[in-house]
Amino acid sequence: MTKDKRTRTLILSIVFSSFGPFVTGYALFLNTATTQFADFLRRTVELGVLILALWIYQVLKNNTNEQKKIRLGRQLYFFSGSVLIFSGVFLLLLFTRGIFNPSIPSGDVRLGLAVAGLGVFFNGYFFIRYTLFQKDSPHAVMDTQGKLYQAKTFVDVNVVVALASVMLFEASQTSYIIDQAGTLIVALYLLLRGVLLIVKEP
């Protein structure tokens, strides 16, 4: 697999991900699901990580200084992990707020559900793509992107389940429980993946 394919994949991942914050931001006005707000926040901060990863990949590709490569690789692991941890902590705060100030989610979740459903497909594709790149020729950027897209795919599956429950059990205790459970599961997963990225040596 050539470096050009890796660069194109990084660019494509940014292009596809760039629509997420705008669409999910609009979807926030259509329903009151905690998971929907969490999804908007996550997609926004993750887009920043993808842009940073492309920049670091280009720098590493054109640089022969091994010390600089190691330093940038560590910085990418740290930043990627920190973003996941930040998202996880924020979701825990939302989960806690939902416990002490319960609100049954309601509203039109079709747009958010469609975005999350597409996310499962595209993020799963990029997860497989980056994993294959990493197996073919290990690289810090490919490794972090593979881990990030693995997390994105997992989160999107949970978002689909949570928003589908709002549609199926609208204005019921069941949708509240599933929404809260989805928020907690995603939060704990993001915290775990974030810590594992930070402690990993490139």
Q: What percent of the chain has pLDDT over 70?
A: 92
Residue 158 has pLDDT above 90, yes or no: no
Domain extent, residue 173, equals 3-199
pLDDT tens column, 28-53: 777 666 666 776 777 788 888 888 88
Over residues 124-150, the pLDDT tens digits come to 999 999 999 999 988 888 998 998 888
Number of domains in the chain: 1
Q: How confident is the model at residue 174 (pLDDT cuts 50, 70, 90)?
A: confident
pLDDT digits (tens, 9 = 90+) for 71-129: 888 888 888 888 889 888 888 887 887 788 777 776 777 877 888 898 899 989 999 99
3-state secondary structure the chain: CCHHHHHHHHHHHHHHHHHHHHHHHHHCCCECCHHHHHHHHHHHHHHHHHHHHHHHHHHHHCCCCHHHHHHHHHHHHHHHHHHHHHHHHHHHHHHHHHHHCCCCCCECCHHHHHHHHHHHHHHHHHHHHHHHHHHHCCCHHHHHHHHHHHHHHHHHHHHHHHHHHHHHCCCCHHHHHHHHHHHHHHHHHHHHHHHHHHHCCC
